Amino acid sequence: MILTIQNAIPDPGTGVADRIVRRTLAKRESEYASEVRRLLDAALELMRANGTSSRPRVADIVAAAGLSNEAFYRHFRSKEALVTTMLEDGAERLRSYLGHQLAKETRPERQVRRWVEGVLAQANAEVAATTLAVLWNGSSADGRIAAGRHFASEPLASLLHEPLTALGSDSPALDAALAAHATLGMLTDCLWKRIEPTRAEIDRVTAFCLGAVTR
């Protein structure tokens, strides 16, 4: 017996209703991703412009992004949550940049040097001012940041696993973490002191990272 249209049972996931739901969700996902990007970009521009003299409010960020308070709190619990996301976003961008730099080298020791140079280059002028402003916005009221692991430590350290293995490390993840702590610690000092590392200091940090596995 052939089923009539009224009696047919549609296959879950292939019916018209399901397709409409998926299309609606895809559209909403795209709109929400756009909202988040606009909020992050607006916050970054405001923090860059204000430096460490004043902190933009949520109202300022929302106005600059051309969005509503509802849109902000749809994605972030607070401004502190926004700053955390900004730091994570910055870490992902820096990791991507360093990955391209390491890909230009074939010798593992040169890759380590590229990595150190790329990390410490974040202490240079305009980049440093922007990074410092974001960190300051995530700090306490008196301008101090909480002690703890650097926000970019793990994603950046992962780039060193392969070159350190090639150099003979029997524990590349641990050695990479130690190298990241040392290099990012120096970067943080440079940022808050508002100085740039010298060539001799960059060479010293590179030698320190290499020495852990080639000594």
Q: Give residue-wise pLDDT tens across range 56-103.
A: 999 999 999 999 999 999 999 999 999 989 988 888 999 999 999 999
Residue with the larger pLDDT of the pair 50 and 16: 50
Please check whether residue 161 is in contact with residue 102, taking contact to mean a CB–CB distance below 8 angstroms: no
Mean pLDDT of all residues in 11-17:
63
Spatial distance between the Cα atoms of 207 and 215, rounded to a whole number of angstroms: 10
The correct answer on CATH 1.10.10 for the domain covering 14-76 is: yes
Mean pLDDT of all residues in 194-214:
91
pLDDT higher than 90, residue 30: no
pLDDT higher than 60, residue 147: no
Spatial distance between the Cα atoms of 180 and 152, rounded to a whole number of angstroms: 9
Spatial distance between the Cα atoms of 101 and 117, rounded to a whole number of angstroms: 10
pLDDT band at 28 (very low <50, low <70, confident <90, very high): confident
pLDDT of residue 148: 43
pLDDT of residue 213: 79
Residue reference for tokens 């992962």 = 158
pLDDT of residue 201: 96
Please provide the average confidence, as pLDDT, over all residues in the chain. Answer: 85
Please check whether residue 150 is in contact with residue 88, taking contact to mean a CB–CB distance below 8 angstroms: no
Residue (of 103, 156, 93, 162) closest to 130 by Cα position: 93
Spatial distance between the Cα atoms of 158 and 182, rounded to a whole number of angstroms: 15
Spatial distance between the Cα atoms of 8 and 145, rounded to a whole number of angstroms: 63
pLDDT of residue 27: 67
pLDDT higher than 60, residue 2: no
pLDDT higher than 80, residue 12: no
The encoded tokens of residue 10 equal 């549609």
pLDDT of residue 4: 46
Mean pLDDT of all residues in 11-33:
71
Mean pLDDT of all residues in 131-156:
68
Spatial distance between the Cα atoms of 133 and 51, rounded to a whole number of angstroms: 5
Residue reference for tokens 């559209």 = 27
pLDDT band at 131 (very low <50, low <70, confident <90, very high): confident
Please check whether residue 196 is in contact with residue 190, taking contact to mean a CB–CB distance below 8 angstroms: yes
Please check whether residue 98 is in contact with residue 117, taking contact to mean a CB–CB distance below 8 angstroms: no
pLDDT higher than 80, residue 152: no
